[in-house]
Structure 1
Amino acid sequence: MKNYNKPYRKKHFLINLLNPFIIDLPTPSNINYLWNFGSLLSLCLIIQLITGILLAMHYSPDIDTAFKTIAHITRDINKGFILRNLHANGASLFFLCIYIHIARSMYHGSWKNTITWNIGITLYILTILTAFIGYVLPWGQMSFWAATVITNLLSAIPFIGYKLVQWIWGGFSISGATLNRFYKLHYVLPFIILLLTIIHLLSLHNKGSNNPTGLQNTIDNITFHPYNSIKDIHGFTILAIILTLLTLHYPSLLTDPENFIPANSMITPIHIQPEWYFLYAYAILRSIPNKLGGTLALIASILILYSLPITQIYIYTSATFRPGLKSIFWLLITTFLLLTWIGSEPAEKPYTLASLIVSSWYFLLILILIPLNSIIEKQSLTKIN
């Protein structure tokens, strides 16, 4: 006799499995589309994983054939140019979503959930590392020289610097060993990012999302589905349209022309620069003439984000209710955009001086003005009470 209940039980089990995470997840009723960028990052990660695995099937991590395999994938593999362009342009959209996600979290005080915030910043650092070593793999002129410049920064470390650089290179210069180990790391790191992303989501769902008021665990909650899942579908559609336009109509819009030339260690490009999403950090690196000082400033510009949960203590965490913090936040966004622009310009006057001034302002905003604003507003609230 046929058991008609079996399909129903399978469906019922799946719904019960997804209920705590997606379907019946309590979600604040007043969140807007800025909260979509977390799910958009998950979509970007899935796209990068799938396209990356398919591209790895045709890539050869050898300095003599790496550039040729990229051309082979683009020209000879069936729909290979779509995979290649999806992966390259998907990285740009990935970082665009990351920056908007971090900016929204800073504005509305998501750092109050310390564990989730710290895991998120760790994910950001791992994504930077993955994107950098992925940029080296095509073995074009800009890839080669970007790898040379960035790995050489480690030589600024006293006593062990040069030994560390040679250990990473696998020799006395960037060679096939360097490319091979970068390829292995670029393949493994995304799976570590995927694991940390799951932990990030579990930590978020354990405490619950915040909302534009900056307060957590509000009583005005609704189920995630269908009210917020519809918003996610809208975001997925817009992201898919933008990625399709970049892939099919403007595939090289965000790519440096120098990277269409095979790597040549005897010819240095006139202006070495990373991808647009690293330009702000590159500007901070160049702002200090000393190699060790520039390297420390570069590292500090990212690690400084860990300090936000420590430096901000206030009853209202959203900048919506904090005029001083709102002004500082938009100054910080302006500073970030200025650093991105300066990083794209040659390392000459007046850009060298401008990078020093704007970089100093970046650290001043986060280390002094944001904590100072928190102390002043806390004292004002105490006087009112």
Structure 2
Amino acid sequence: MKLPSRLATSIGLIVAGLDLAGMAMPAQAAWTNENSAALLQSANVGINSNGVSTGNGVTTAFARTAYKSSAVAGGATILTPLFSNEACAAGKPTDTGVIPGVCQNSVGVATPVFWNAANNNPPTAEQPLPGLLGLAAGVRAELTAINNAQIGAGVSIDGTDTGTPVTWSNTGVPTALNPPLLDSNTNCSVADINNAATPAVVGNCPAGAAGSGKSRAVYWSSPTAAFAVLSLPSGADYCNAMEINDSGQIMGECIFLVTGTPDVHKTVQWGSGGTGPTVLLTVNGSTSLRNWPVDQNSSGEIAFNHEVNGGYVLPGIWTTSSTNGIGIAAPTGSSEAAATAISDTGVVSICAEVGGNEEAAVSHGGAAPILIAALSGGHNDCATAISKNGTYVAGYSDGPGTNTQTVNSVEELTP
């Protein structure tokens, strides 16, 4: 389970800005407000198959904080920080209740951590590498992914700001990920780790002096293996690995240099062990020059966004059995929408623009989106996450009542 990208490097912004003008369109489902009296603002970033959602907010003391909430118990519970009165932010919870995140330490430095959703104990900190006899020791770390067994993956960074890719034990002890012979792991980044009995890791490494600043997508078949460089599809300039599922399928993005056509991005998938890749070339049978991967499920289906006429963006779902994806139509009254996640049942969560407002929606297997109304009195909402089993969807909404400047974490059964 990977973290939202902004959590990998800093505490980041807690709540997205909203356009609060106008009226929301009619919808076919409704949210449950999970905000609590302890939070002025809150927004969910993830939800697991047990209905445990996580997110970030601002307390009544105007402090940034991470929280968890339950579809059964309701109401947000602030997660215990690493140090008292220091800020934290949470990522998406795993189905075993592991909550990755980041907290400021006693001197205000962002420190990767994870919590256990079953309790409200202080988090476990992921430690930087100790170095050899204290030399080149890490001074900070960045967690980018964690699996069901609490095995984390990320980067340890030394005092010269040089990074080394690592995995962490379930107690936060780091081990460096290896390069092949005559290669280097210096400044390699980690993108994701899976839940296999021997977990595999994907990431990206610098292409070296001859690489002109490009990266190489890489794959570690285990935490002790040397990385293998993933093959480029025909015509690609370079690629980035982004996610790996438990079957070993790897989602990524490749950049192509096409004469007279700038900025050509395409979604790709490498098979188990790094075979392939297959490239998303068309959407609904028409050439797609620019499409971007968003999320991959356990069977290898990928939610993506793609550019359409007018420069707008719309969501889609790709089964990866061919090079053609299914475009998801914009909701009625909308010209633009974006996928945010996909469940193992093929349900895509969506944020759309309808009548000048944000509107949450879901699409079942590429079907027409089902809108989810903002809280009573609100005008904007967004579905930021969906559980792996497809049962729950989570996000944020403004409102309720006249308090339309308040952003609330919300959750409901998937319509």
Name the larger-Rg structure.
Answer: 1
Greater fraction of residues in helix: 1
TM-score, length-scaled by structure 2: 0.21
TM-score, length-scaled by structure 1: 0.22
